[in-house]
Amino acid sequence: MNYLKPRLADDAHKNSAIIQELVARPDSVTLLGVKAKIKETMGSAGLFDEYTVKLRGVKQPEELALLSKSVQLSSIAHAEVMRAVKPNMSERELEGILMYVHKKYGAEGEGYPPIVGVGANACILHYEENNETVLNNQLVLLDVGSEYHGYSADVTRTVPPTGKFTEEQKAIYQIVYEAQEEVFKLCKAGVPYASLEAKTGEVLAAGLIKLGIIKEAKELRTYYPHGVSHHMGLDVHDKGSYQGNLEENMVITVEPGIYIPAGSKCDKKWWNIGVRIEDDIVIGKDKGTNLSIDAPRKWQDVEKMAAEKSIFDGAKFPPLK
Ligand SMILES: [Mn+2]
C-alpha cells in the first residue's frame, strides 16, 4: 500500500517553498529555520512519525530475508561463544568472538554497541565497557547483534563460563525462560501488543515470589526495570506501532530479564545474578517464527552446547616482549 499518496504527491517537494529554501541553501542554519516553519505549517514531526511507523512497522519480504540472515548469523555467533567461553576469559574476548563470526558472514558490523557483562556487570542495563578481565563462575550476559546489509539483529544470551549453571543461577534463568515461552504464544496477528508486557510481569513476579525474592508483584520493577519488546529492522529499535494489535510481518524482540545487584533486599545468594534472554520474532497469522533459534535457550541446551568444542579452543599467540 502506498501510504504517502493520499497526502503528498511524489513531486510535492518541488511545489513546497519551504523545502526549496533548503534545496537552495542546504546548511544547518537553513535547516533549523525550515524545521521551525514545517512545525508551524504541518504540526511538528507528527507526520513523519505517522508515515515511518506504517512503512517500517510491517516488513516487506525483502526486508524479512535480510533480517532473518542478520539474526541467524548473530545466533550462530552466540552459539560459538557458548562453546568457547571459559572462566579465565575476559568480557572483551567474548565480544571479539561474536564480532569475528559476524564479519566471517559478511556483516558490516554490529547494530548497537555490544554488551558483554559478567556478574555485577550483567545487572547494569546498557553496560558497554566490557572491561572485566576474568569471568570466573558468574553468569555472563551477552546482548550482541550484527548489522547485515542495513538490518540489525538483537540477540541476548546468558551463559555460565564453567559450562554449568549453579542452582541459584538456574532458578533465575528458568523464570526468565518461562516468561519468554509464555510471551511467544502471544506473538501472532490480532493480539494486543500491550498484552506481552502484562504476561511478562505476571510470570516474572510469580517466579520471584515463589523464590522468596519479592513478596508482592508490585516489587517486580526493582528486578525487571525495562520493557519486554520493541520493533526491530533498519534500526535495532525500529519504528513501529506500540498501540493496538500485532500485525503479520512485524518483527519484534521478546526479552524478559531479571537483575539482582549486590545489596538487594533479598538473600545474598541471589546477588550479582543478571539474566536476560532475547529472541527476534516474526509475527505470523497463527503463530510467530523465532529467527534466533540457532542460539540455544533452554538451560539444558546451553550446557550441552558448552560441552562442545569451539574453533577458538586453545587459541594461543606468542607472549608480548
Ligand atoms: Mn532489544
246 CA → ligand 1 middle, Å: 17
179 CA → ligand 1 middle, Å: 16
Q: In the prediction, which pLDDT does 2 show?
A: 42
Q: In the prediction, which pLDDT does 43 show?
A: 65
User: For 243-273, what is each residue's pLDDT tens digit?
Assistant: 999 999 999 999 999 999 999 999 999 999 9
Assess contact for 141 and 122: CB atoms under 8 A.
Answer: yes
28 CA → ligand 1 middle, Å: 33
Residue 19, classified by CB atoms within 10 Å of its CB into exposed (0-12), middle (13-18) or buried (19+), is middle
Q: Is 6's pLDDT higher than 50?
A: no
Residue 153, classified by CB atoms within 10 Å of its CB into exposed (0-12), middle (13-18) or buried (19+), is buried
5 CA → ligand 1 middle, Å: 33
156 CA → ligand 1 middle, Å: 8
End-to-end CA separation in angstroms for the chain? 64
Write down the mean pLDDT value for the chain.
Answer: 93
Assess contact for 262 and 272: CB atoms under 8 A.
Answer: yes
User: For 7-45, what is each residue's pLDDT tens digit?
Assistant: 555 676 777 888 888 888 888 888 888 888 877 776 666
Neighbours of ion ligand 1 (CB under 5 A): 154, 253
User: For 178-219, what is each residue's pLDDT tens digit?
Assistant: 999 999 999 999 999 999 999 999 999 999 999 999 999 999
73 CA → ligand 1 middle, Å: 16
Residue 191, SS3 per DSSP? coil
42 CA → ligand 1 middle, Å: 33
Instruction: Please enumerate in sequence order all residues whose Cβ is within 8 A of that of 137, keeping only pairs 6 or more positions apart, or say none.
Output: 87, 160, 161, 162, 166
User: For 35-86, what is each residue's pLDDT tens digit?
Assistant: 888 777 766 666 778 888 989 999 999 999 999 999 999 999 999 999 999 9
174 CA → ligand 1 middle, Å: 19
33 CA → ligand 1 middle, Å: 35
Q: Is 305's pLDDT higher than 80?
A: yes
The neighbour count for residue 145, using CB atoms within 10 Å, is 31
Compute the distance between CA of residue 251 and CA of residue 263 in angstroms, rounded to an integer.
37
Q: In the prediction, which pLDDT does 123 show?
A: 93
Residue found by looking up cell 507526520 in the block: 47
pTM of the model: 0.87
Q: Of all residues in the chain, what percent carry a pLDDT higher than 70? A: 95
234 CA → ligand 1 middle, Å: 13
Compute the distance between CA of residue 202 and CA of residue 208 in angstroms, rounded to an integer.
10
Which domains can be identified in the chain, with CATH numbers? 23-53 (no CATH), 58-306 (3.90.230.10)
Per-residue pLDDT band at 3 (split at 50, 70, 90): very low
38 CA → ligand 1 middle, Å: 33
Compute the distance between CA of residue 277 and CA of residue 94 in angstroms, rounded to an integer.
17
User: For 101-157, what is each residue's pLDDT tens digit?
Assistant: 999 999 999 999 999 999 999 999 889 999 999 999 999 999 999 999 999 999 999
